[in-house]
Amino acid sequence: MPLGKSLILAPLPILAALALSACGSGTGDPNTITLYNGQHEQTTAVLVSRFEQATGIKVLVRSADEATLGNQIVQEGSHSPADVFYSENTPVLEALREKGLLAPVAPATLAAVPRRYSASAGEWVGVAARVSALAYDTGRLTAARAPSRLLELASPEWRSKVGFAPSETDFQPLVTSIIRLHGRAAAEAWLRGLQAGGKVYPDNETVVSQVNNGESALGPVNSYYWYRLRDELGAGGTHSAVRYYAPGDAGALVDVSGAAILRSSAKKPAAQRFLAFLVSAAGQRALAQSKSFEYPLRPGIAPAPALPPLAGLHANSLTPAQLGDGSEALAMEQRLGLL
């Protein structure tokens, strides 16, 4: 069964081509591993470079949308050339875990980050956190005027003002958060409200860009998309800001990027070293300095100075394990025609 949006958005011939390009990319060298990368490429490039310098292990990187890569891993099964999968969000990792395709992560690696941010039985480890927030056009709204609760976005007051990206894998955890905290009926009503009055964009980069240029007044995104936009445009070119949701709100969600070792990998020792590096002090500092604007999960490693402290945002209590594999949210979006 498909894991997510990739089989909806990408025709099967493209997936087949990806699979063919990956096959044969592995090597018998125990000091070379193959990484399927669904995380942002610029972030992964920094981490891979630092790891290679520190260990002498070579990493062959295959980057694509995380759901596309997750589906590819399922298709390849025990013949996958991948050793490690690094994902932008956890639902695809949970889906692979449920299918028995992941190997246990070393206990010392799991212990490097708070336990709630990794798989309950240790099949993947959390690497970085990001927080859901609301980007808003400062020419039309103030922070006090912008909605403080996620469900408000579907209200008539904001009709024709909201931009959103329902096909983004970042969006499905928001839907799941509403399901878990308010029920399926509330989540469906919220999606119908956005569908009736919102503007659909292809991705979160477009959401923050169009909010910044005034096409939409506001849009739900993970906050790091806005911080990257501000870093790129500078203060003079930034005409938007980010509003964090009320403490404990469904929108006040901490989402996690994580990494796993494939059960089929023949290079588990080197793969374990890569995961250990991702959550090491050196790896987490590299993440913090990479302009990814994500939160390092290792205690004692400060995020980028521009970010507010994670603890001060008072996120809701949902863990990545409680967000699950995203299938409920995905099915709801499909049924409503949003995907």
138 and 244 together in one domain? yes
Backbone angles phi, psi at 255, to 5 degrees: -105, 155
Query: Is position 183 within any domain?
Result: yes
Residue 278 to residue 274: CA distance in whole angstroms: 6
217 and 118 together in one domain? no
Residue 137 in contact with residue 158, Cβ under 8 Å?
Answer: no
CB atoms within 10 A of CB 49: 12
Instruction: Please name the amino acid found at residue 16.
Output: A
Under 8 Å CB-to-CB from 235, ≥6 apart: which residues?
A: none
**Range of the structural domain that residue 278 is part of:** 6-129+256-308
150 and 227 together in one domain? yes
Under 8 Å CB-to-CB from 42, ≥6 apart: which residues?
A: 290, 291, 292
Query: Is position 269 within any domain?
Result: yes
Query: pLDDT digits over 170-192, tens only?
Result: 899 999 999 999 999 999 999 99
Query: Is position 90 within any domain?
Result: yes
47 and 112 together in one domain? yes
Residue 334 in contact with residue 1, Cβ under 8 Å?
Answer: no
59 and 28 together in one domain? yes
Query: pLDDT digits over 117-137, tens only?
Result: 999 999 999 999 999 999 999
Query: Is position 321 within any domain?
Result: no
Query: Is position 274 within any domain?
Result: yes
The two tokens of residue 69 are 């890569």
Task: Tell me what pLDDT residue 22 has.
Answer: 39
Query: Is position 322 within any domain?
Result: no
Positive or negative CA dihedral for 109, 115, 117, 123? positive
Query: Is position 319 within any domain?
Result: no
Task: Tell me what pLDDT residue 29 has.
Answer: 85
Task: Tell me what pLDDT residue 23 has.
Answer: 39
Query: Is position 315 within any domain?
Result: no
125 and 156 together in one domain? no
Under 8 Å CB-to-CB from 331, ≥6 apart: which residues?
A: none
Mean pLDDT of the 44-66 span: 97
Residue 137 to residue 232: CA distance in whole angstroms: 17
Q: Residue 191 maps to which CATH number?
A: 3.40.190.10
Instruction: Quote the number of domains for the chain.
Output: 2
Query: pLDDT digits over 189-213, tens only?
Result: 999 999 998 999 999 999 999 999 9
